[in-house]
């Protein structure tokens, strides 16, 4: 029996990308009649999706993506939601998602992440050639070749990003021995005010540090790669 929806997960092959990207996945739904849905939960990742011939509608606790032939491509950014969200696919879907590690996406975009994060599921178009390149990648039939092309694109946009304060705090937060430490304690350890830390998180992570910490606690309980 042919599956109605398949998801295939890829880890980066590039040694460069391994530092910044957790995984890619390709989602394909071939059934035009039946809908497929699942719940997704907050995570520490910054998520970028591309899909062809779709239209996505967003409400506070639900994301519905429908087959929409007149739309050539959708490109979206997901980096800030606080609770469970129902994701529902209706009709044929061809989608690729990139999971960037914390701070990872900042090495591939020309501006601060906050400049792209208008709304809960904003259109994402960081480069002049981005949508044309993504449209071309989605048209590749062979999934392995599709991922190779996507890796090649991200490598072509790489520009080193450094933020010692955030890198230090995130490293401490991801250390399981620090799960019970408060933001005040992180502030004391780094000798930076909570206001400064909050501003840096808003600018480059697009979620407050307390939410990032809570999301890490949630995601650490699940060994599977998260879904958008």
Quickly state the pLDDT bin for 108 (edges 50, 70, 90): very high
Average pLDDT over residues 87-101: 95
Alpha-carbon span 95 to 9, nearest angstrom:
12
pTM reported for the whole predicted model: 0.91
pLDDT at 126 over 90: yes
> What is the pLDDT of the chain when averaged over all its residues?
89
Q: What is the pLDDT of residue 44?
A: 92
The answer to whether 24 and 47 are in contact (CB under 8 A) is no
pLDDT at 179 over 50: yes
pLDDT at residue 220, rounded to an integer: 54
Checking if the pLDDT of 133 tops 90, the result is yes
Asked if 16 and 155 count as a contact pair (C-beta separation under 8 A), the reply is yes
Nearest to 209 by CA among 194, 219, 224, 222: 194
Query: Looking at the predicted structure, is the pLDDT value of residue 119 above 80?
Result: no
Q: Are strands 46-52 and 54-59 parallel, antiparallel or unpaired?
A: unpaired
- For residue 56, give every residue at least 6 positions away whose Cβ sits within 8 Å of its Cβ, in sequence order, or none: 63, 64, 65, 66, 74, 76, 121
The answer to whether residues 140 and 146 touch, using CB atoms and an 8 Å cutoff, is yes
As a whole-number percent, the residues of the chain with pLDDT over 70 amount to: 94
């Amino acid at each position: 029996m042919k599956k109605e929806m398949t998801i295939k997960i890829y880890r980066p092959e590039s040694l460069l990308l391994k530092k910044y990207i957790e995984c890619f996945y390709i989602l394909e739904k071939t059934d035009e009649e039946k809908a497929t849905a699942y719940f997704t939960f907050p995570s520490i990742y910054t998520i970028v999706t591309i899909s062809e011939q779709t239209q996505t509608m967003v409400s506070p606790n639900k994301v519905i993506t429908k087959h929409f032939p007149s739309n050539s491509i959708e490109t979206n950014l997901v980096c800030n939601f606080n609770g469970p969200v129902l994701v529902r696919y209706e009709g044929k879907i061809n989608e690729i998602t990139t999971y960037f590690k914390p701070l990872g996406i900042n090495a591939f975009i020309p501006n601060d992440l906050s400049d792209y994060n208008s709304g809960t599921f904003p259109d994402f178009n960081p480069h002049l050639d981005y949508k044309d390149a993504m449209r071309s990648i989605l048209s590749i039939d062979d999934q392995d070749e599709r991922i190779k092309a996507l890796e090649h694109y991200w490598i072509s946009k790489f520009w080193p990003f450094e933020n010692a304060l955030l890198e230090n705090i995130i490293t401490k937060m991801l250390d399981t021995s620090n799960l019970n430490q408060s933001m005040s304690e992180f502030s004391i350890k780094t000798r930076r005010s909570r206001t400064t830390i909050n501003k840096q998180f808003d600018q480059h992570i697009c979620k407050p540090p307390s939410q990032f910490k809570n999301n890490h606690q949630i995601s650490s309980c699940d060994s599977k790669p998260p879904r958008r």
